Amino acid sequence: MRRRNAMFTAVSISVIALAGVWGALSGDFAHAATRSKQVQPVTPNVKNAAYTVENGIKVFHLTAEQVRQEVSKGVYANAWGYNGGTPGPTIVVNQGDKVRIVVTNHLPDATSVHWHGLIVPNSMDGVPGAEPSPEIQPSKSYTYEFTVKQAGTFMYHSHVDVAKQEMMGLDGMFISLPKGGDVVNGQPVNRDYTLLLQEWDLVNPPQSKPGIAATQGMGSNSMTSGMNGGYGEGQVPAGTYDVNPESMSWNIFTLNGKQFPATASMEVKKGDKVLVRLGNLSMQNHPMHLHGHDFTVVAKDGIPLPKSAQYEANTIDVAPGETYDVEFTADNPGTWVFHCHLPHHTSGPNGGDGGMLTTFHYQGTPWPSGLNTTSAKTGNMGGMNTGSAD
């Protein structure tokens, strides 16, 4: 249907009609039509990385730096990230691209970037402790360069002092679009959304050190709410906090660096094929559950699953280090939640929703009063990516 519409448009433009018909016969036009309609992958609340093209190479710049991340209204984390936020910008390339990624270190510690799941030369893999790949010292840069052979959903993160640096927020998503366009099972997708799962222990600097010592190993942080600077899950009040990267008691659970209701709603239209890319760079599994629809699991770790291995589900348990691509058809208008199903990971203040929870909203359907937030209504206005929920 989409091809026919594209053809009709082409035929109506008489100058290119003959070329279009000839192209369709040759098969090239189908790809061109797919490409022209290709949706740009959107990472709600996170920008796609800007790049320039130099001698056929896509050149990206990442600056590792301290960031003041607003995880929800008025709640700020003194985290580490790239280019002003955590996760860093989503790197979007096409399969076969040559890429050059210049990483500059503005942190007080040495760092590196590992291209998680991508098959790259040994020296480009970013694991200086165990592979022939350099540490990037403070105020220095290193240039990673490789050809992206694969298509799919990948991630990037620091591979130096990972217990600290990854949990401080040095991570991001890396998407490689297949040569034939953004297609799943031969069908173009209409929406392409990416969610990176992270978790945090925010500590109030004046109280943090004794508080964290007291809450370590006590299980649910809710039990320690209000004690010694410990906050229950999703119960952190407005303020600016440090991140305790080595804690095992997390009180903030985010999708793309935001906790609900700051997570920007994802717009769909009835009939859309919606691709959702999930990545987890946290310390534990998060079973992500979709309401109102079943989805098909179409890829794992950037590897497309053959049709025979694809399966339908409405919950997908995303373990640390994994990526999954799931796809659903938008056939049930309304506003539907998509969330981690560990109850403590979606709790908000006063018993409300929070944490790793976001929504799909069908165009033209009313906004629920409970979702009366600026971020939800404007997050994807015009289909544009937004760098901020505010």
Contacts for 25 with CB less than 8 Å, ≥ 6 apart: none
Confirm or reject binding of residue 227 to Cu ion (CB under 5 A): no
Confirm or reject binding of residue 340 to Cu ion (CB under 5 A): yes
From the CB of 196, what's the least distance to Cu ion, in Å?
Answer: 13
- Pick the piece of the chain touching Cu ion (CB under 5 A) from 3-11, 33-41, 61-69, 334-342: 334-342
Question: Residue 121: is the preceding peptide bond cis (ω within 30°)?
Answer: no
- Give the residue with the Cβ less far from Cu ion, 159 or 286: 286
From the CB of 132, what's the least distance to Cu ion, in Å?
Answer: 36
> Which helix or strand (DSSP H or E) is residue 264 part of?
none
- Give the residue with the Cβ less far from Cu ion, 347 or 385: 347
Pick from 159, 286, 339, 361 the residue near Cu ion by CB under 5 A. 286
CB atoms within 10 A of CB 97: 18
From the CB of 138, what's the least distance to Cu ion, in Å?
Answer: 34
- Give the residue with the Cβ less far from Cu ion, 110 or 283: 283
From the CB of 356, what's the least distance to Cu ion, in Å?
Answer: 5
- DSSP single-letter state for residue 40: P
* Alpha carbon distance 230, 207 (integer Å): 9
For residue 149, what are its two tokens?
């052979």
Task: Restricting to residues 193-212, name those near Cu ion by CB under 5 A.
Answer: none
Task: Restricting to residues 15-74, name those near Cu ion by CB under 5 A.
Answer: none
For residue 261, what are its two tokens?
């209701």
Partners of 152 in beta bridges: 176
- Give the residue with the Cβ less far from Cu ion, 157 or 345: 345
- Pick the piece of the chain touching Cu ion (CB under 5 A) from 45-53, 168-176, 260-268, 285-293: 285-293
Question: 264: closest CA among 385, 90, 83, 88?
Answer: 385
- Give the residue with the Cβ less far from Cu ion, 86 or 282: 282
- Give the residue with the Cβ less far from Cu ion, 34 or 86: 86
* Alpha carbon distance 66, 79 (integer Å): 6
- Give the residue with the Cβ less far from Cu ion, 227 or 342: 342
Task: Restricting to residues 238-267, name those near Cu ion by CB under 5 A.
Answer: none
Question: 48: closest CA among 232, 239, 177, 189?
Answer: 177
Rounded to the nearest 5 percent, the helix, strand and coil shares of the chain are 20, 40, 40
Pick from 16, 127, 283, 342 the residue near Cu ion by CB under 5 A. 342
Confirm or reject binding of residue 345 to Cu ion (CB under 5 A): yes
* Alpha carbon distance 370, 260 (integer Å): 12
- Pick the piece of the chain touching Cu ion (CB under 5 A) from 98-106, 257-265, 294-302, 345-353: 345-353
How many residues are present in the chain? 390
Confirm or reject binding of residue 273 to Cu ion (CB under 5 A): no
* Alpha carbon distance 374, 371 (integer Å): 9
- Give the residue with the Cβ less far from Cu ion, 112 or 346: 346
* Alpha carbon distance 69, 261 (integer Å): 15
From the CB of 251, what's the least distance to Cu ion, in Å?
Answer: 13
> Which helix or strand (DSSP H or E) is residue 374 part of?
helix 374-378
Confirm or reject binding of residue 155 to Cu ion (CB under 5 A): no
From the CB of 288, what's the least distance to Cu ion, in Å?
Answer: 8
- Give the residue with the Cβ less far from Cu ion, 64 or 276: 276
> Which helix or strand (DSSP H or E) is residue 57 part of?
strand 57-72
Partners of 268 in beta bridges: 362
- Residues 249, 165: contact at Cβ < 8 Å? no
- Pick the piece of the chain touching Cu ion (CB under 5 A) from 49-57, 128-136, 289-297, 343-351: 343-351
Residues that bind Cu ion (CB under 5 A): 286, 340, 342, 345
